[in-house]
Amino acid sequence: MKKIFFLLSLSFMANLTFAQVSATNAWIRATVPQQSATGAFMQIESKQGAKLLAAKSPIAGVVEVHSMLMEGGVMKMRAVPFLELPAGKPVELKPGGYHVMLMDLKGQVKDGDVVPVTLIIEDQAGQRQNLEVKASARMVTKPADKHMPMAHQKQEGHKH
C-alpha cells in the first residue's frame, strides 16, 4: 500500500512540475509552394527551470532547435543540442534568434493554417514530457533578405 502511494505521488509531482512550462504566442512562417523549410516562433516559460531538447511536427520530416547569429555579416543558423529555459524567465524564439526549424516539409504552409508542434521538454529531475503547441501560420515578407545571405550550418553527424 505504501509503495502504491509513493508511485502515485511521484507521478503527481511530475505533472505539477510539467504544468509549469508554457508556450505562448506560437506562430510559424507561411511558405511558398516548393519551399522545403520554415521556422516556428513562440515564448516559452518554465517556472522552475527546464530544457527544450527537441521538437517535432507531423508537417516536417526533420525538426531542429536552431540558434541564429550574425557572423561576419552573414546570418548563420545552427542546431543547438538544447535550449536552456531559466526559471521564471521567458525565452523568446523569434526571427533572427532561436527558432524551431522545420525541414523536409510535406506540403505548403499557408497563411492561417494551424500547425501542431510538439516540444520535448526535460525538467530539472531529468523527466521528459511533451508539450503540444499550436502555431498559426503567418505570411511574413522579409525585405532585408537580399542584404542578408543565409548560410545553413549542417549539424555534425546529422542524418536524414
- Could you list the residues that contact Cu ion (CB under 5 A)? 66, 77, 101
**Cell digits of residue 150:** 543565409
CB of 152 to Cu ion, least distance (A): 7
Closer residue to Cu ion (CB): 3 or 142: 142
Closer residue to Cu ion (CB): 29 or 66: 66
The sign of the torsion formed by the CA atoms of 78, 33, 26, 134 equals negative
CB of 99 to Cu ion, least distance (A): 6
CB of 83 to Cu ion, least distance (A): 13
Please state, in angstroms and rounded to a whole number, the distance separating the CA atoms of residues 66 and 57.
Answer: 15
Closer residue to Cu ion (CB): 17 or 102: 102
Question: 115: closest CA among 41, 15, 64?
Answer: 41
CB of 64 to Cu ion, least distance (A): 7
Per residue, what are the HEC states of 57-83? Answer: CCCEEEEEEEEEEEECCEEEEEECCCE
Closer residue to Cu ion (CB): 22 or 56: 56
